[in-house]
Structures are given as structure tokens and as C-alpha cells.
Structure 1
Amino acid sequence: MLKKLLLVSALFIFTEFIQAQDCITCHKNVTPNIVTDWQLSMHAKSDVDCAVCHGTEHTSAEDVAKAKLPTVETCANCHEERVAQFKKGKHAAAWAAMKAMPTIHMQPMALIEGMKGCGGCHKIGIKSEEEIKQLRKDGSLFGNASCDACHTRHTFSVEEARQPQACQTCHEGFDHPQWEMYSNSKHGVRYLLKQTGVLPKESSAPTCQTCHMQNGNHEVRTAWGFLAVRLPMPEDKQWASDRATILQALGVLDMKGQPTKLVDVIKAADVARLSQEDWQKERDKMLKTCGQCHSENFAKGELLKGDDMIKNADHLMAEAIRVVADLYKDGIIKKPANYPFAFPMLLTFHDAPTVIEQKLFVMFLEHRMRTFQGTFHANPDYALWYGWSEMKRDLTEIKELAAQMRREHKK
């Protein structure tokens, strides 16, 4: 019996080996660099061949459609712990968060489902089986695996994913220029000098992963979340009022200050901390990380400066929102029918119907983001000139535009 089992096992391994060699022989001619990348990978060294991820049904150029395209569940077969962490984090919710944006359906398909715009980064989010079927039906066959957003196929390198450049593709530009802020900060400069050999490898210099993926944790969470709004409300009455105004303009609170159905969406997408305990947990993790290089009192003081910048930015932002809301109230701007109440919607992006509303969206999603993100990323230029200074100028322009619109309305 034992001999028979050993024989069956040997035949199975031999068959798998032959199939793998067939894949390699063919793809060396068809897609040679894919083969090279796989041969460089830990998968190749661990005998994880093509069939493990792509199945065995595709055997020739005539049946390419039978090749299975992996999803996050494919990776979970071997990387269960990391996938479980990923599923609890914000990256896993990226696709759902994108789809929840009010006017996302107004963008060209290539940018969203085609993954050449928002979808190009938000594809890291997990998609349901139905969503994947629909994407494939619409001709968008690739980009559903999530993990390969950071561990580039087919090397799937852990070492690559640990480098700050792995984050660069998505964390740059308009509303989240973390790469620019980090790479120009003292933290980033020192690490890039380590990469080029100017500084010794032993030198202290954090990467994005050092601060946001402690010990390789794939949840990737922060205390303030992406939009820097949270619950409960602060004790400071002015800040509480300002934050309430912002939450109303996000559609999270109604005109009476009561939570709307969007709170459930925020909970599901995990884009904000909704309890003091959740916020403090993430803050404590960050303090522990900072403490590897800095004293505790220095780290606390620096993070408190970031909190204070959010407070000050919120005050400017709330004033600008109220200026535009008053234009709705006085009938100078017609409220779009799809807005839930007489408040501007900050997340309509460039689809906001008037110039003043578009200026408000830019103030919120570009300049407010840079104000607090620049502070937390230790980049003074972004915190001031690309952030706070721009917000001050935005507010001046919004007030002037509103005054002009009122004058024209009286004519």
C-alpha cells in the first residue's frame, strides 16, 4: 500500500513538473520576461509553478481564455495571515471606497473599470465575484488580484514591496502626495541616501512601511484616516462646530447634526476612526514606531502639531463651506437635485457644477490634505506653501467669488 501511495505521489509530482516545463517552454517565446521574473522569484525556488495560480486548463495558444487569473483568495492559500491582515485594512476597501464616490460613474470607463485613472490605484481593493464577472464581461480582464499592486508580478518580491518606491505609484499627486512629501523630508532623504550607498545600511531612516506597516502588518491604518475627520467630536466648541460643517458637506451628518446612512459606508470602508479607542490605538502604534529613533516627548509633541494643523485647517475649510452653503440658502446657486440637503458636496470632485464649488473641492481635497499630511510627514514646504497658504488663498477667492455672484444676482 505504501509503495502504491509513493508511486502515485511521484507520478503526480512528475506530471506537475512536465506541465510546468511546458508552460516555461512556450512562454519563453511568447512572454519571455514573465518567465524571467518568475524564475527570479521565491515562488520558483519553492516549486510554486504556473498552475498553482493559473490552473491547468490552459495548455495552448488556442485556449488562453481558460487560464485562471488569480485573486486575493489565490494568495490566501499560502499567505493566510498576511491576507487576513490585508482584509482588515483600508487597502482592501479601496475599490468599494472608490465606487462610493458620488460622481464616479460620470468618468470614462477607461479611468475606472479600465484602471487608467482612479481604478488604477483603487484596484488594490477586494472585489466580489459578481464585480469581477462584470469587469471581465466589460472587457477589463486584469488587475483583480490586489496583492500584485505592491508585490509586482511575476517576481512578487517581498524586498521590492518593502521599498518606499513600491508606494510611489499611488501615493503621489493631487490629493495624496505622500511620496513627494516623504522623499523630500529628512526621513526620505536619508533612506534614499542609504539606497544609493552614501549612508551605511545601518543608518536609521524610516520607509513608508516602517511607519504604516509595523512588523509587516498589512492593515495599513492611521489614527486620522484618509480625510482627517473622526468621531467623537472634540471638546473644543469651535473645532466641533467646524468639523460638523465638514461632515455635513461630506454627507455624513444631516442639517440637524444627526448621522446619515453614509456613516455605515464609512464604517465599511474604514476611512475614519469612529471611536476614541480606535483612534488612540493607532496613535499609540505610531508613537511606538517614532520611539525607535526619537524620545517619547519629542514624538508626542510632533504628532500634536499635526492635530493642531487639522484643527486650524478645519476652521478655514468650514468658513468656506458656509459661504457656499449661504449661496444655496439665498437662491444664488441652484442646489443640484442629487444633493441630499442644502449643502455643497465636497466629494463631487471636478463634476461640481460651478466654479466656486470647484474651488471649494480643490481647497478640501488638495490643499487641506497637504496641510495636515505635510505636517505629519515632516515636510515644511508642503505643510505651508502647498497646503496652508493655498487654503488661505482659496478662502479669499471663494469670498470674492461669492460677493461677485451676489452683486450680479441683484441686477
Structure 2
Amino acid sequence: MIDCCKRLGGALALVLMLAGAAFAGKSNCITCHEKVTPNIVKDFLEGEMGKSGSVDCSSCHGKAHQSAADVAKVSMPTEKTCKECHTKQHDQYASGKHAAAWVAMDAMPTNKLQPHAYIQRMKGCGGCHKVGIRDEKSRAEGQYGSPCNSCHTRHKFSKAEAKKPEACRTCHMGFDHPQWEMWSNSKHGSIYQMEGDTGRAPTCQTCHMGDGDHNVMTSWGFLALRLPEEDAEWMGYRVTILKGLGVLDPAGKPTARLDLVKAGKVARLSKEEWQASRDKMVGICSKCHSATYAKTQLGNADQMIKEADKLMAEAITIVAGLYEKGVIKPQKGQPAYPDLLTFYDTRTPIEQTLYVMFLEHRMRAFQGAFHMNPDYVTWYGLAELQKDLVDIRTEAAAMTREAEHKK
């Protein structure tokens, strides 16, 4: 009886607290911003935090800013601000790949040459990679607040919105990772579009955020690379690709970029780590399919990575041969080897073809396989890889003949 009274008393206290907040009147923030930024206020008051009455603008933005004269004193929330109330979700996110997204901005060798707005001001790559945790300098230059609002858009911060696959498509679409296009045109995506979110068709969140887990990790990682590799033939292809990424030097020895691969969590560096992620995915798939079917489909997708890597390794070797012959001269201080991470800043047409082959067509060949889209695997992936290789063979032969003629 005593315990029952305590529970009722606690519930009553909570109701009175919320009611008191609701009837205590509008805060100075709300009163002012209803005139200055009315839609922001509307979004906030429609969200769960605004409805509860227990969170005010100052809870996230601080109390230093009180008028139009001191706007510069407003604080922009960070992921740590969100952690104060959402510790579990924050810690899951912090251990996953999204939290490491900003590492890539520091890792790309030519990013420092890009327009400031393109990276730091979020008008290019930074616009998606802001989901990662940044250092204080990058955060201050970007002024984009918490990465959590990449999915829970401000100021409503809706859980229901973030659970919809459409929340993912701004970043997971286009040139190098068109997961939205692959999924939405697969049988899974078609069912979702025909029936709506009935639960029958898996969405991004079904497979990558099971039970709301904010860790969001996959077995292969973004680059579809893992070490060690028991398949000796495949390991040979992979070594060549790792050289092309600058993770290994031309002699096959690890470079400083290996640390960036680890920090960015873009590859799986132990058999156990890879297997744990694969087992987790099989468990998710097995909610609708048999475990045997799930393992077969995932295994077939693994083999598409190998097929793509075979073509990719030959192309890298051909271009590396041009460096070895002196047909392509390395930049000062750089190894005599193609660098796939220079992307569109490569200096020769043949290296432009090589980067597109790696970042667009290889990606589509294996990502399409995992997202159950055979058209992407074939016509946007494998067929384009084979065409790229023909072009690279032809161009390399022509460049070699021209160089010999000049001699």
C-alpha cells in the first residue's frame, strides 16, 4: 500500500510539474522568436521536447543570449549537449561509423585545397560528413551544432521522422554511395512505396539500426576492405587496392594512413569484428527469411566485391606501371604510385578514369549486391568497371607509345 501511494505521488508530482510548466507562461526565448523566427518556434513546440514543457531553448543554447544585442553569446549545442538527456543513444552513436565521419575530411589529401565553403561551411562534402564528431576548430568554423540534427532535424528533433528511410537519403545517394536509389528501386523499396511503412518491407533503419541501435556499423565498412583475408587470390587484389589508397606504400609496408583507416572505421581490421557484424545482419535478415537464404545472399554479395576487386587491381597495376616507367611523374614528395584519394584532383585523364572506377563503379557493383538491386550491380557497376579497364588499357598503351616516341 505504501509503495502504491509512493508511485501515485510520484506520478502526480510529474503531472503537476508539466502542468506548471505549461501554464507558467512563455519564456523570453519563445516570446521573442515567435516574431523573429516563427517557424523555428512552431517546430520546437510541435516536438516532444517542446510539448513536455521540461525543456526550453536555453537548455540547449545557454542563457547568455537574452536580446538582439547579444546574439553572439548564443551557444550552439553539440553531441555532448544531447548526451545530457540521451546518454544511451549518444554512446551508441559515438562507437559507430557516423561519429567518425569527419575523420575523412581530414584524411583526404586534397581537401585543404578546396573552397572553404565546400568543406567547413557544409556546402559540399562537409554537408553530410557533419554527422561526425569534429574537433573544436572545425566545429567553430562550421557552426552547425550537434551532428544529431542530421537525422533528427532541428528544432522538432522528431524520433518518428528519423525512423523513416527518407531521413537517410540526403547523404546516402548519388555518385559514390547511391544506397537510396538502390534500396528504393529494389523489391524491398518497391513494397515500401506501394504499401507504406507497414513493417513488411525493411527500411534503412530496419537493417542498420535494429532496435534503435545508433551504432550503425556494417561488416565491410565503406570501402569494402577487411584484414586479414584468408582467400590468397583475393588478398593479392586487396594489397594492390590498399597501395592505391596509400594505406600501404608501393613496397607493401603500412603508412600513416592506416591510422586514419582505423580512426574512420572504414575497414574491418580483425576477423572477429567482421564476423560479429555479419552475424548481426544475418539475425536481422532471418526475421523475414531463413538463415540459410540470408547467408547465401550475403555470401553472393561478398563474391561481387571480389569480382570488382579483380578488375580494380588490374587497373591500378597498369597505372602504377606508368609511374614505374616514368610516363607519369610523381608530384614532389609523393610516391611513384597512383593515389585514389585525390579523387577529381588527379592530374591525368587515365587517373581520372581510375578514380571514377574505384569510387563510383566499384561501389555500385558491391553496394547494389547488398541492397538487392541487380540492375545497379550489372549496368552501373560491373559493366562500367569492365569498360573502365578497357579504356585504361588503351590509354596506357597510347601514353607508353608517346613517351617512347619522345625518347
- Provide TM-score, normalisation by structure 1: 0.91
| Cα shift at 1:202 | 4.3
Alignment deviations for residues 351-401 of structure 1 (CA, whole Å, 9 cap, x no partner) = 011000010000000000000000000001110000000000000000100
CA distance in 1, matches of 2:355, 2:390: 15
CA distance in 2, matches of 1:90, 1:14: 41
| Cα shift at 1:335 | 1.4
CA distance in 2, matches of 1:363, 1:95: 24
Report the residue type matching 1:284 in the other structure. D
Structure 1 partner of 2:202: 206
Would the aligned equivalents of 2:60 and 2:77 in 1 still touch at CA under 8 Å?
yes
Is structure 2 residue 161 aligned with structure 1 residue 160?
A: yes
| Cα shift at 1:246 | 0.2
| Cα shift at 1:19 | 8.6
Structure 2 partner of 1:7: none
| Cα shift at 1:63 | 1.1
| Cα shift at 1:127 | 1.3
In the comparison of the two structures, how many residue pairs are matched? 388
Unpaired stretches in structure 2, ≥5 consecutive residues: 1-15
CA distance in 1, matches of 2:25, 2:136: 28
Runs of 4+ in structure 1 off by over 3 angstroms are: 13-20
Structure 2 partner of 1:85: 92
Structure 1 partner of 2:258: 263
Is structure 2 residue 325 aligned with structure 1 residue 330?
A: yes
Would the aligned equivalents of 2:30 and 2:41 in 1 still touch at CA under 8 Å?
yes
Report the residue type matching 1:239 in the other structure. W
1:63 to 1:15, Cα distance in 2 relative to 1, 3 A: farther
Report the residue type matching 1:105 in the other structure. K
Structure 2 partner of 1:279: 274
Would the aligned equivalents of 2:192 and 2:198 in 1 still touch at CA under 8 Å?
no
Structure 2 partner of 1:98: 105
Structure 1 partner of 2:214: 218
| Cα shift at 1:410 | 1.8
Alignment deviations for residues 216-235 of structure 1 (CA, whole Å, 9 cap, x no partner) = 11111000000001100232
Would the aligned equivalents of 2:316 and 2:354 in 1 still touch at CA under 8 Å?
yes
Alignment deviations for residues 38-97 of structure 1 (CA, whole Å, 9 cap, x no partner) = 011010122211110011111111111111110000000000010001111111011122
CA distance in 2, matches of 1:14, 1:68: 27
CA distance in 2, matches of 1:180, 1:100: 27
CA distance in 2, matches of 1:15, 1:44: 11
Would the aligned equivalents of 1:127 and 1:144 in 2 still touch at CA under 8 Å?
no
Alignment of 1:319-398 (within 5 A): 319-339=314-334, 341-398=335-392
Alignment deviations for residues 209-268 of structure 1 (CA, whole Å, 9 cap, x no partner) = 111111111111000000001100232x22111110001111112233232222221111
CA distance in 2, matches of 1:203, 1:126: 32
Structure 1 partner of 2:145: 144
Report the residue type matching 2:146 in the other structure. A
CA distance in 2, matches of 1:30, 1:377: 44
CA distance in 2, matches of 1:328, 1:400: 16
CA distance in 1, matches of 2:48, 2:67: 26
CA distance in 2, matches of 1:148, 1:364: 31
| Cα shift at 1:203 | 5.0
Alignment deviations for residues 332-351 of structure 1 (CA, whole Å, 9 cap, x no partner) = 11112243x22200110000
CA distance in 1, matches of 2:154, 2:199: 30
Would the aligned equivalents of 1:231 and 1:275 in 2 still touch at CA under 8 Å?
yes
CA distance in 2, matches of 1:53, 1:410: 66
Alignment deviations for residues 95-132 of structure 1 (CA, whole Å, 9 cap, x no partner) = 12222111111111111001000000001111122432
Bigger mean CA offset, 151-160 vs 53-62: 53-62
SS at match of 1:111: helix
Report the residue type matching 2:145 in the other structure. N
| Cα shift at 1:283 | 0.2
Report the residue type matching 2:206 in the other structure. T
Report the residue type matching 1:410 in the other structure. E
Report the residue type matching 1:217 in the other structure. D
Report the residue type matching 1:53 in the other structure. C
Structure 1 partner of 2:11: none
RMSD: 1.9
Is structure 2 residue 81 aligned with structure 1 residue 54?
A: no
Is structure 2 residue 31 aligned with structure 1 residue 30?
A: no
CA distance in 2, matches of 1:258, 1:269: 20
| Cα shift at 1:28 | 1.1
Is structure 2 residue 229 aligned with structure 1 residue 229?
A: no
CA distance in 1, matches of 2:292, 2:210: 21
Would the aligned equivalents of 1:94 and 1:122 in 2 still touch at CA under 8 Å?
yes
Is structure 2 residue 309 aligned with structure 1 residue 314?
A: yes
Alignment deviations for residues 174-231 of structure 1 (CA, whole Å, 9 cap, x no partner) = 1000000011011111112233xxxxx5451101011111111111100000000110
Would the aligned equivalents of 1:91 and 1:125 in 2 still touch at CA under 8 Å?
yes
Out of 14, 23, 27, which is 1:21 matched to?
27
